[in-house]
Copies of this chain bind each other. A is one copy, B any other.
Amino acid sequence: MASQSDVAKLANVSFMTVSRVVNGDPRVKPETRERVQRAIEELNYYPNAIARALNRQRAMTIGLILQKLDYVLSEPYISHLIYHIEKALIPHDYDMLILSGEHRNGRDLTLLFKQKKVDGVIILGSQMDDPRIAALSANRNPSVLLHAHSDLPFVSCVDVDNYSIIEYFIDYLTALGHRRIAFIGGDSSVLDAYQRLDAYAACVKKRCLPFEQELVFRGNWSSGSGYEAFLHFNELRPRPSAVIASNDHMAIGFLKAAYEHQVRIPEDISLVGIDDIEMAAFTTPKLTTMRQPMQTIASVAVETLVGAMENRDKPASHIILQAEPVIRDSCGPIPKV
């Protein structure tokens, strides 16, 4: 495998000149540059990323931490988000390591930095009050939380405005006449899930709608838990006339259960989801939901992280993006009893 010295010999220059050519240093005589270029091509030379990383003290790699790899990866929303993250990293020339939060280095994320494996991390779906996040901040390791929040000084966050999402739907559903509005929460250890639930409670109270424990079902983001939510709500008397699911996946599970139990959506129960995953447009009825600005979330997260990696002392930024309602066919006026 050819190194700079090999190229240098062939081109009759010092390896330093080769280095300059490779890095586009302008102060190389065009003639020399061309000679070097030819040697590079002839030897099929490519810079050794590891040697470069050692020298520059930058791995040019970021870590994408997923708490529960198996589970989280199968969320269509997450997988698309990852796609956009990877894409956004390319112009910055960073690579992306996928790490399961539970597995390797499950205890201490700062290890990744101490070992110099990554220059920064993006964390998806972190638990609330995860002590590992605090450790990252304490070490000033560039970190961005996605769909989560933290007040730590060196941990940035990118999230959607969960309060507005819920508020929008509460308004929308009350405008249709609904008052008994139920809620399916996500995995409650995750902040996003918590915020949505919190927003639900706040909005419901603010509008003096019935707020009861049994109107809240604690799911875990999976369609299976949406299915169970239906079973639970279907037993209530009076039954809720509308349901807000914390993500589309659960809404789809709910839809399925409703179908199996001959409960019509939206005639009997109105239903909304959050995310606008691809499948939301293909359910029966088509799902009314809230489109997350995935691509923006991904690019903002990457830009924020790159900024933090290039300037370690930059204080954390907290960016809240707005979601956009997508009204389809899963909501209707409150049924006349």
| A88-119 interface bits toward B, Cβ cutoff 8 Å, 1 = contact, 0 = none | 00100001111110011000000100111100
Contacting B at CB under 8 A, from A240-267, are 253, 256, 259-260
Q: Is A70 an interface residue, CB under 8 A from the partner?
A: yes
Interface size class of A (residues with CB under 8 A): 35 or more
Bound complex: CA A4 to CA B49 (Å): 22
What's the number of copies of this chain in the assembled complex? 2
Whether B46 and A50, one on each chain, are in contact in the complex, defined by CB atoms closer than 8 angstroms, is: no
A115 CB contacts on chain B under 8 angstroms? 46-49
Q: Is A208 an interface residue, CB under 8 A from the partner?
A: no
| A219-233 interface bits toward B, Cβ cutoff 8 Å, 1 = contact, 0 = none | 000011001000000
Min CB distance, A5 to chain B, in Å?
15
Q: A-side binding surface: helix, strand, loop or mixed?
A: helix
Closest 4 CB pairs of A and B: A73-B79, A70-B83, A46-B114, A74-B79
Bound complex: CA A253 to CA B283 (Å): 10
Bound complex: CA A99 to CA B90 (Å): 10
* Contacts A80-B73, A83-B70, A100-B87; A256 near B278 (Cβ below 8 A): no
| A29-60 interface bits toward B, Cβ cutoff 8 Å, 1 = contact, 0 = none | 00000000000000010111111011000010
A79 CB contacts on chain B under 8 angstroms? 70, 73-74, 79
CB within 8 A of A70: which of B44, B80, B98? B80
Bound complex: CA A332 to CA B116 (Å): 58
Whether A95 and B90, one on each chain, are in contact in the complex, defined by CB atoms closer than 8 angstroms, is: no
CB within 8 A of A90: which of B73, B87, B104? B104
Q: Is A279 an interface residue, CB under 8 A from the partner?
A: yes
